[in-house]
Amino acid sequence: MEKGEEEKEEEEEEEEEEKEEEEEEEEEEKEGEEEDEEEEGEEDKEMEEEEEMEKD
């Protein structure tokens, strides 16, 4: 009985660790996407500024 219980506990711990790792990866992906959006916004501003300079 004890061996079975220990195995169950180990499996549960492994599952929890996997869930935590997946959550961390998802958070990193979200942060990466936000950074990309910020960079795109900066590029758009630069393009607009260049176009305005050309008009003048």
Q: How many domains does the chain have?
A: 1
pLDDT tens-place values along the chain, 56 residues long: 577 899 999 999 999 999 999 999 999 988 877 777 777 778 888 888 888 888 77
Residue 56 structural domain = 21-56
Kindly state whether residue 1 falls inside one of the protein's structural domains.
Answer: no
Kindly state whether residue 9 falls inside one of the protein's structural domains.
Answer: no
Kindly state whether residue 33 falls inside one of the protein's structural domains.
Answer: yes
Give the span between the Cα atoms of 5 and 56, in whole angstroms: 77
DSSP for the chain reads -HHHHHHHHHHHHHHHHHHHHHHHHHHHHHHHHHHHHHHHHHHHHHHHHHHHHHH-
Give the span between the Cα atoms of 29 and 11, in whole angstroms: 27
